[in-house]
Structure 1
Amino acid sequence: MSHVSVSADQAGQRVDNFLLARFRGLPRSRVYRLLRRGEVRVNGGRIGPEHRLQAGDRVRLPPVDLPPPRPPQQAPTRQLDELGACILYEDERLLVLDKPAGLACHGGSGIRYGAIEALRQLRPNQPFLELVHRLDRDTSGCLLIAKRRSTLRALHEQLRTGAVKKRYLALLTGQFAGRRQRVDAPLARYERGGERLVRVDAAGKPAATVFHARERYPQATLVEAELLSGRTHQIRVHAAHLGCPLAGDAKYGDPQAEARLGDIGLRRLFLHAAELEIAPLDGVGARHFSAPLPSALESVLIRLRQQTLTPSPP
Structure 2
Amino acid sequence: MKEASSGVSVQWIEIDEESAGQRIDNFLFARLKGVPKSHVYRILRTGEVRRNGGRIQARERLDTGDLIRIPPIRLASRDHDGVPEAFVRARLEPRVLYEDDDLLVLNKPAGMAVHGGSGLSFGVIEGLREIRPEARFLELVHRLDRDTSGCLLIAKKRSALRILHEQFRNDEVKKVYLALLAGPWARTRWIMDAPLKKNVLQSGERMVRVAREGKPAVTEFRRKDRYANSTLVEARPVTGRTHQIRVHAQAMGHPIVGDERYGDEKINREFRQLGLKRLFLHALETAFRHPRTGKSTEAKAPLDQDLSEFLDILSR
Query: Given the superposition, is the C-alpha separation of residues 183 and 143 from structure 1 closer, same or farther in structure 2, using an over 3 Å criterion?
Result: same
5 Å-filtered alignment, 1:134-153, equals 134-153=143-162
- 1:20 & 1:198 partners in 2: Cα distance? 29
Equivalence for 2:218: 208
- 1:55 & 1:78 partners in 2: Cα distance? 37
Matched, 1:104 2:113: yes
1:4-31 Cα distance to aligned partner (Å, 9 max, x none): x9864355x5xxx6254268647xxx9x
Equivalence for 1:87: 96
- 2:98 & 2:234 partners in 1: Cα distance? 23
Equivalence for 1:184: 193
RMSD: 2.9
Equivalence for 1:292: 302
- 1:22 & 1:121 partners in 2: Cα distance? 16
**Structure 1 unaligned spans of 5+:** 31-48, 59-68, 307-314
TM-score (structure 1 length as normaliser):
0.78
- 2:266 & 2:186 partners in 1: Cα distance? 20
1:72-116 Cα distance to aligned partner (Å, 9 max, x none): 321241331221111111111111111100010000110110001
Equivalence for 2:167: 158
Secondary structure at the aligned position of 1:119 is classed as: helix
Equivalence for 2:70: none
TM-score (structure 2 length as normaliser):
0.77
1:45-86 Cα distance to aligned partner (Å, 9 max, x none): xxxx9x9x796799xxxxxxxxxx997321241331221111
Query: Given the superposition, is the C-alpha separation of residues 56 and 19 from structure 1 closer, same or farther in structure 2, using an over 3 Å criterion?
Result: closer
Amino acid at match of 2:124: A
- 2:186 & 2:263 partners in 1: Cα distance? 18
User: What is the CA-CA distance between 1:191 and the residue it aligns to?
Assistant: 2.3
Matched, 1:233 2:238: no
Query: How many residues of Structure 1 are paired with residues of Structure 2 in the alignment?
Result: 271
Amino acid at match of 2:83: Q
Identity of aligned residues (%): 46
- 1:55 & 1:7 partners in 2: Cα distance? 8
Equivalence for 1:217: 227
Equivalence for 2:176: 167
Amino acid at match of 2:204: G
- 1:163 & 1:194 partners in 2: Cα distance? 32
User: What is the CA-CA distance between 1:268 and the residue it aligns to?
Assistant: 0.2
Matched, 1:199 2:209: yes
User: What is the CA-CA distance between 1:175 and the residue it aligns to?
Assistant: 3.5
